Amino acid sequence: MDFISILSIFVLACFVGYFVVWGVTPALHTPLMAVTNAISSVIIVGALIAAAAAGAAGAKWLGLLAVVLASVNIFGGFAVTARMLAMYKKKERR
């Protein structure tokens, strides 16, 4: 992919983000932060590439450490989001 295609994806994704986030109900802003936190750990992709690559021991260890950090975030972020969302209940209609 050349730089322009990547930039196009990025710019369009910013617009998608803009509209999707304005659609989030304010009551769920804390779960929103927790889940965006979890998904921004997709940076683990870069960490995995570094950890899997041979050739530079330093890069490999940095990669593995980044895998640990990103995993804390991924598992912790999604779990805490799920925990919060499970608490939101509607009024019981009797």
Partner 1 sequence: MHEGAAVPAWALIAYLVAGVCFILALRGLSSPESAQRGNRFGIAGMAIAVLTTLVTHVPELVSPCPQPPGGWRICGPRESFHLDALVLVEILIAIAIGAAIGLVTARRIAMTAMPQLVAAFHSLVGLAAVLVAAAAYLNPEAFGIAVRITPIYGPSIVNILPVSRVEMGLGAAIGAITFSGSVIAFLKLNGNMSGKPILLPARHVINLATLALILGLIGWFTQDQAPWVFFTICGLSFLIGFLLIVPIGGADMPVVVSMLNSYSGWAAAAMGFTLHNTAMIVTGALVGSSGAILSYIMCRAMNRSFISVIAGGFGGDAVAAGGGAAIDRPWKRGSAEDAAFLMSQAEQVIIVPGYGMAVAQAQHALREMGDLLKKEGVTVKYAIHPVAGRMPGHMNVLLAEANVPYDEVFELEDINSEFARTDVAFVIGANDVTNPAAKTDKSSPIYGMPVLDVEKAKTVLFVKRSMGGVGYAGVDNELFYRDNTMMLLADAKKMVEEIVKALG
**Closest approach of partner 1 to the CB of residue 4, in Å:** 11
Under the phi-then-psi rule, with left for phi > 0, alpha for psi from -120 to 50, and beta for the rest, what region is 55? left
Residue 4 as a binder of partner 1 (CB under 8 A): the answer is no
The 48-77 site mask, x for binding partner 1 (CB under 8 A), equals xxxxxxxxx-xxx-xxxxxxxxxxxxxxxx
**Closest approach of partner 1 to the CB of residue 57, in Å:** 9
- In the three-class reduction of DSSP (H, G, I as helix; E, B as strand; rest coil), residue 1 is classed as coil
Asked if residue 84 lies in contact with residue 34, where contact means CB atoms within 8 angstroms, the answer is yes
Residue 94 as a binder of partner 1 (CB under 8 A): the answer is no
